[in-house]
Structure 1
Amino acid sequence: MTEPLDYGSVCSGIEAGTAAWESLGMQAAWFAEIEPFSSAVLADHYPYAHLHQWAHDWPAKA
């Protein structure tokens, strides 16, 4: 059996794509989301994936 393809997701939302991609042998390694509700959904549905919130640290103007 081949190992799953790991990927990361920026501005993940509730990450509906991951639900479909898992059946294709892909697995989320990390998510980046700042919204509390979406972050809670991700933490509950994908506890194995690291949940980043680094976008909070970005300056208002880059």
Structure 2
Amino acid sequence: MCEKDDKIKQLKRENQELEKLLSEITKNQMESAKLHSERRYNDVRTQYHTVQVLAVPIVIALIGVVIALVK
């Protein structure tokens, strides 16, 4: 009976360790997903800003072409 009790205690300890590891893995996965989401948001924001920066000179050039054609 003592061996069974020792085995049960050992299995409970191992189970607790596994639950801690699973909790840490889950926490790390959530943090990773959050960082991935933030990085994707920053990439999209950078692309949008690049389009805005490029659009201004293009619009100015088109206005210049229209003015030149009208004259």
TM-score normalized by the length of structure 1:
0.20
Structure holding more helix per residue: 2
Structure holding more strand per residue: 1
For CA contacts below 8 A with separation 6 or more, give which structure has more relative contact order.
1
**Bigger radius of gyration, 1 or 2?**
2
